[in-house]
Chain A
Amino acid sequence: AQSVTQLDSQVPVFEEAPVELRCNYSSSVSVYLFWYVQYPNQGLQLLLKYLSGSTLVESINGFEAEFNKSQTSFHLRKPSVHISDTAEYFCAVSNDYKLSFGAGTTVTVRA
């Protein structure tokens, strides 16, 4: 069985400030890790994923996440956020077809 814990439910942040969203997982087998973003009234969009190889993965819009096996973490970071990054972010884990999601972190970016 797998589970995901997102440690922060709400993260307010000022525009151009850095943000870190924490994600820890538990699993008895090797897993793949994902971050999804959900903008208001929209479906989930894949932000980035870790399958194998380099432990640091990046998205096209400036987000990055680092897989840390020893700490079973996959924290998401962005060095400088924009107003348009306001959304809910979900960490997910999978070792086959079934994704297990965390409860989500709502990021609110203020000017």
Chain B
Amino acid sequence: NAGVMQNPRHLVRRRGQEARLRCSPMKGHSHVYWYRQLPEEGLKFMVYLQKENIIDESGMPKERFSAEFPKEGPSILRIQQVVRGDSAAYFCASSPGTLSLSGANVLTFGAGSRLTVL
């Protein structure tokens, strides 16, 4: 059980370039969540996806950011025309279902992708 796999672990981009971050959920997990951790801050929810569906993108910036979770392959967080303020750690988490009263579904986090924008 490989856990939640994120790559790349570190990514350096110049202003104006595109950044693509990938997340492979744990085996058997069909729900993926992206969080962003800005320097000196806690994690902030960005988006929640199920296979081929965006369930909640209330935490996504309105422009330049997009996420997908195709039927096959990893979830992708895409940031177009990056700016210095996008420098952060981006964490992916997965669960087999929505967090529920039973507590059986608990998020498993990946090790994160650290984006640095020069």
The answer to whether A96 and B98 touch (CB under 8 A), given A43-B110, A103-B40, is: yes
Are the CB atoms of B48 and A43 closer together than 8 Å? Answer: no
A1-24 residues at the B interface, CB under 8 angstroms? 4, 6
- Chain B residues near A (Cβ < 8 Å): 4, 6, 31, 33, 35, 40-45, 48, 55-56, 91, 95, 98-99, 101, 103, 106-107, 109-112
Q: Which residues of A line the B interface, CB within 8 A? A: 4, 6, 32, 36, 42-46, 49, 51-52, 90, 94, 96-104
Contacts of A36 in B (CB 8 A): 109
Whether the Cβ atoms of A99 and B31 lie closer than 8 Å is no
By the criterion CB–CB under 8 Å, are B107 and A99 in contact? yes
B42: which A residues are within 8 A, CB to CB? Answer: 4, 6, 90, 101-104
